[in-house]
Amino acid sequence: MLKNFPKKDYLTIPIEMYSCEVIIKKNQKLAEMEKIILKYIYNENSVKQLLNDFNFDHFIINKILAKLLYRGLLRLKLDIAQFQLSNKILPFIKNDKLDDYLDKGAVSESRSVSILQEKISGEIFIENAVKEYLKNPSSLTTNYLDLRIVSLDLFPDLKDFSLDKFIKCIRSQIKVEIKDIEKVNLLYPRHYTKLYIPLKEKDNQKYLDFDLEIFPRRVQKAWQNAYEIDHGTPKENLIEIYTEETEFLSNNLFKIHFNKDLILFEDTLRKIDRSLKSKKEIQDLLMINNDLEKKLILLIEKVKSINKISFYHKDHELLKNLVKYISYAKEYIIICSTHLSSDAIEFLTLMLEDFNKRDVKIIILWNNLVDIDDQNKIYQDIKNKFSENLRKNVHLMQSRIHFNSNFILIDNNFIFYTNYSLLAQDVYLKDQSFPFFILEGGTSSNYFLEFCCDLLPQKFELKKAIQEKIIENYEEHNVDLSEERMNYIKNIRNVIAKLKGKILSYSFEELPPTIDQIKKLLLQLDLYNNISIIRDIEHSNILIDAMRETNKNFILYTDKIHREQLGPHFMKYLGRIPKFQIFLNDIEVQDETQRNLGISGIKKIMNTEINLKLEIKNFPKFNCLYVEDNFIIFTNNRFLDKFRRRQLFKEIGIIFYFTDIEEYNIFF
């Protein structure tokens, strides 16, 4: 009977959904390819000759010709199978004025899409991507585990989302140029109020059972955290991400799973009856190819993430490099500091004393004021340190959201990243080690720009310009990469197209060389330093994720440890690690701190675990995790500090994958 049927657990995620109208502006000017084709028709009057001369793709040319015909710029003379230029475009071609042509009939068009926001992490999705999880399972066979909203301070409401955030969400469904999306209008709410996420159980452990490609890591982490809060689950019994399919922290593990797919492809290819050329024969290959294509795109993202990484650890190196890189600024300089002290005036003066570019905007963001009684006075004192030409471009403001990261962003090209509050007093202590990274080029700077944009108040005059810059940065031509990296990316894109083309054309004998080419490209990943960005709730249990994935030696540098974090959940994965060394900063270990953190109790735990060692020593403010032969995680988040679930804040951290990790080892 139904009443005796075992119920299946489902997480229910609160959501808000709206039907939306996407306004797309039709480009009034001619595109470059349209100009080329019009000129060629004027001179040669032969599209066939155009295809032969330039080896253009037939589909692309036909699409452009169709647009030109629709706009009335071309006519097709059927009797002689030739195109004829219309009178309204002919004078512009004759006088070489195509750049000046404007199509007066161009108008905007609209498309419909439904967008929803889940209210745990604040992420937005299009309905089509998650429609499988909008279906409410039968209450007779379902045990609902409802999640409640943890914090609304970390993300804006759906109605307050900026255009750049909507574009990231809808770009996969709205097949148009990003720059042509003018706005997204929320029309009316939909009746859906929840997502229903099934849980599966293995070895008495609950796992989220969903398509991991739809919901990114930060969303998964937010759900795990909310589940623990709402259902009082002991930490060792938390729901977890099933690591066989998830996005990996370790590049080594990523390569292992990539190679498994390549081997599966080769095995499937060997079993195919090559004398038969039917869809049935290639279905399995196409399915595996789909997985390979996703991993190849991820490979591109890794190589695009950064162009160059530099590491320094002296205070005078920070100032010297800041002065140098700030001189390159053309558009903006954004300084994010968790604290602001009166000493910041001196530091800013030193940093910007030779800076005289009046067109560059300088935005200074912080959380807390230190030793400052009069906020307005400090604002004025800082502004007065700038020249009169610069003063109008200096913007000082306290963040609307509490954040826990320190960096300086210069244009969309340079990032100074450190654990220190850049505008706090401790920056100015002399002859101290001051670890910081300089990141140049790549796509990662856009994550930092988005982070800054989220901190700015809605009414800030420059916020809209920053959002437009974020949208512009989605375009690949804005990514500053070396020629070597660009060629590597080009080779990956070529192999993606080649592999699918060979399958669809039944050219089975040509597939093994293509697979060999992919293997070589995968090995070449080790030639390029690359990074991954950790945002906000993604920091939750990042240490456990690393322990779960790797069985190498760990070294952790931190200034805070809480006994609770060394509980059963930590010990569950500690057995995989040959040696786990923790260095605790003795500057922070005072009597009160020891009492709060329970150092004596922590040492007792250490004594019972032969592979876990604690050493209290003096070292710079350097909060990072080193995993042997794998990666370094550098962040302000304290890996073993007590997680205060109701006091969440915005954070941005970095996972570094170095070609030679020991080159960056000054402490390890």
From residue 292, give the alpha-carbon distance in Å to each of 213, 243, 445: 14, 18, 27
Paired sense of beta strands 194-202 and 74-77, if any? unpaired
pLDDT at site 68: 76
8 Å CB contact between 20 and 184: yes
User: How big, in percent rounded to 5, are the helix, strand and coil portions of the chain?
Assistant: 40, 25, 35
Identity at 70, one-letter amino acid code: Y
Rounded to whole angstroms, how far apart are CA atoms 156 and 550?
A: 36
* Structural contact between residues 438 and 325, judged by C-beta atoms closer than 8 angstroms: yes
Q: pLDDT (tens digit, 9 = 90+) per residue, 171-196? A: 767 766 666 777 788 888 888 888 88
Token pair, residue 324, equals 């140098």
| Cα gap 315→432, rounded to integer Å | 6
**What are the Cα distances from residue 249, in Å, to 260, 359, 412, 539, 654?**
18, 40, 25, 12, 11
Query: In 3D, which of 479, 404, 409 has the Cα closest to residue 653?
Result: 404
State the residue for tokens 């629709």.
70
Judge residue 50's burial from the number of C-beta atoms within 10 Å of its C-beta, 0-12 exposed, 13-18 middle, 19 or more buried. middle
pLDDT score of 245: 47
What are the structure tokens assigned to 361, written together?
């905007």
pLDDT value at residue 242: 44
> For the chain, which residues score pLDDT lower than 50?
1-2, 234-237, 241-245, 591-596, 646, 668
* pTM for this entry: 0.77
551: Cβ contacts below 8 Å, ≥ 6 apart: 576, 577, 578
How far apart CA 368 and CA 404 sit, in angstroms, is 11
Q: Give the separation between CA 166 and CA 158, rounded to whole angstroms.
A: 10
Strands 205-208 and 308-314: unpaired
Is residue 412 within 8 A of residue 445, CB to CB? The reply is yes
What is the residue-wise DSSP string for 496-547? HHHHHHHHHTT-GGGHHHHHHHHHHHHHGGGGS-EEEEEEGGGGTTHHHHHH
Burial of 395 (0-12, 13-18, 19+ CB in 10 A): middle
Q: Give the per-residue pLDDT at 607.
A: 59
What's residue 591's pLDDT?
44
pLDDT for the residue 149: 73
Q: How far is CA 392 from the centre of its chain?
A: 33
Report the alpha-carbon distance of residue 330 to residue 328 in Å, rounded: 6
Amino acid of residue 303: V
* CB within 8 Å of 207: residues ≥ 6 apart: 199, 200, 201, 239, 240, 241, 242
The span from the CA of 108 to the CA of 274, in Å, is 50
Question: In this structure, are strands 205-208 and 194-202 parallel, antiparallel, or unpaired?
Answer: antiparallel
Evaluate whether 438 touches 416 at the Cβ level (below 8 Å): yes
Return the CA Rg of the chain: 28
Task: Name 617's bridge partners.
Answer: 585
Tell me the one-letter amino acid at 531: I
How many helices (H) and strands (E) are present in the chain, helices listed first? Answer: 21, 23
The Cα–Cα gap between 524 and 114 comes to 41
CATH number for the domain formed by residue range(s) 308-478: 3.30.870.10
Give the three-state DSSP class for 23. strand
> Other CB atoms closer than 10 Å to residue 590's CB: what's the count?
10
530-664: what fold?
Endonuclease; Chain A (3.30.870)
pLDDT for position 428: 55
Rounded CA separation 472/476 (Å): 9
Number of alpha carbons in the 13 Å side-chain half-sphere of residue 156: 17
User: Cα(191)–Cα(51) distance, rounded to whole angstroms?
Assistant: 51
Cα–Cα distance measured from residue 342 to residue 347, given in angstroms and rounded to the nearest whole number? 10
| Amino acid at site 453 | C
Q: pLDDT tens-digit profile of 82-92?
A: 777 777 778 88
Q: Which tokens go with 617?
A: 């020593």
CB 39 within 8 A of CB 98: yes
- Pair of tokens at residue 197: 């996420």
